[in-house]
Every structure is written in structure tokens, then in C-alpha cells.
Structure 1
């Protein structure tokens, strides 16, 4: 839950970098909250009927509330892989754009400092994994 709150607190932060864990934990919390709100909308009848179907009021309010933080963490996640935030517009390209973005969001961070700032791994409690020593075996 700390990852979710950290993203909300940095809701206008489009600069810097976001590691995979921050992005995906926020996405997971969003998914769970959306599912709960969708059930609540239907349980309590909080929806508006449209020609295309129904729109849940609670889910829509929540979606609007987390729109900017979601975009910000996605841009920071792209930055972490040394990609510009403009790549987020790939989502407008049907199927292929979403696949490309998914690959970018799943990639490991670019090591050390990149053009978007220092590695975010050091911003949280988890230390960088140690680099194993090099052993040269002679035969």
C-alpha cells in the first residue's frame, strides 16, 4: 500500500524515474480498487444508463481522481528505462502500441543515472542487489 500512496503523493511528478515495483504495485492497487468500486456501483445502483450500457459513478469518479497520478507514474516508468514520456502516446495505436508499452513497462531499469535522473532503487528501503564477485578458474 505504501507504493500506492507514494504515487498519489507525487501525483504531478512527471520528472524523474519510477521503478517497476512502484509502477506495478500502483497498477495492482488500482485494479483492486476499480473492481471493488464496480461491484459497489452495481450493488447500490450507482450507475448511469447510456445507449452503450452503464457507467458506474463511483468507478468514474475514482478514475478521474487517479488519472493524473497514473499518467505521471507511467511517464516516470518510461523514464526509468531511458525512454521519453512521449512513448505513452503509443497506447493510441491499436494492439501494437499497447504491446510496445507493456514491454517497456516490464523492462529492467537502466542502470545508474540516465538522462532522467538517478536510479530510483535507492529511494526505497530495498538495497541494490549485490554484484557477485568475478571468479576466474584456471584449468
Structure 2
């Protein structure tokens, strides 16, 4: 346990945040600093962009264009997804499954750092506004006293 007044989670850079993201795979207690959380968001966003580009290059764009013709003005044949596009989809699903638990854990810990219960994450399921509310909560500054309430159980690794 930290001394009187606790201590904030360290501010980290991009590489360190990604390393901590995977090291603290399923740690839901403790806290995550703003930098730790937002660098991971950037990383996941970049991975998603690369995945999307690979999908489009592998033939996903042609299939989507052929299937979206509402007037049937194409030759009447639709192209199926190629092997490459199916492979990219499978890779995407596996990547999603690999990061869902650590993403939930870091979101939970980020809410703890703002002195909110991790259960506030479920606000994101409210249609239209839930995600916005969660982004605002995740962007709030750290609360210095949060360690007293949330640093119990297995604490996240810092290095």
C-alpha cells in the first residue's frame, strides 16, 4: 500500500502503455493513469485502421460495392469474399477476442482512477449517449484519494 496520501499512477509513454496493457491482462483492481489509458486507445485505433486497410485491399471493398447496388445495374453476378478477405476477417476476430479482457480491465481501472466504480462502464450500453458519457468519465483527471478506495486486491504492474 502507498504511504499517506497515496501516489498517482505513473504517466507513461506509448510503448510502456502497450506493455502494461498486456501485462495487466485481467487486473480489474487498482487504477490506470490517463496516459496509460489513452495511449492504449490510440494503439487499438491504429490496429483497427491497419486491419480495415488490409481487408479492403484483400478484396473486401469489391465485394461490398457489388453487394450494395440497389438497382441491379451490375452484371448480375456478385463476387464472394476471397480467401484473403476471409483470412483477414478471421485475424480481426482473433485480435478482438485477444484484447477484449485487457480493454475491459484498463477501462475499469481508468474509472477507478477518477474515483468511480468500474461498473460505470455499463453506461456505454445506453444507446446514442452511453459511449459519450463513458468517454467524458475516462477523460476526467485523476483523483488523488482514489488509491484509498480502489488499490486493493491485485494491483496493476507499473513496469
The bucket for the TM-score relative to the shorter chain is: 0.7 to 0.9
Partner of 1:73: 106
Partner of 2:58: 44
TM-score (norm 1): 0.74
Does the alignment pair 1:23 with 2:37?
yes
Q: How far does residue 99 in structure 1 lie from its aligned partner after superposition?
A: 1.9
Partner of 1:86: 119
Partner of 1:97: 130
TM-score (norm 2): 0.65
**After superposition, what is the alpha-carbon deviation per residue over 1:96-134, rounded to whole angstroms, capped at 9, x for unaligned?**
22122111100000014330029x9xx57xxxxxxxxxx
Which consecutive unaligned segments of at least 5 residues does structure 2 have? 1-14, 68-80
Tell me which structure has the larger Cα radius of gyration: 2
CA contact (8 A) 1:11 1:69 kept: yes
Higher percent of residues as helix: 2
Q: Which has the higher contact order (CA 8 A, sep 6+)?
A: 2
Partner of 2:48: 34
Distance 2:94 2:113 in 1: 29
Q: SS at 1:66's partner residue?
A: helix
Partner of 1:9: 23
Name the Cα RMSD after superposition.
2.8
Q: SS at 2:52's partner residue?
A: helix
Q: SS at 2:51's partner residue?
A: helix
Q: How many aligned residue pairs are there?
A: 119
Distance 2:130 2:41 in 1: 18
Which consecutive unaligned segments of at least 5 residues does structure 1 have? 125-139
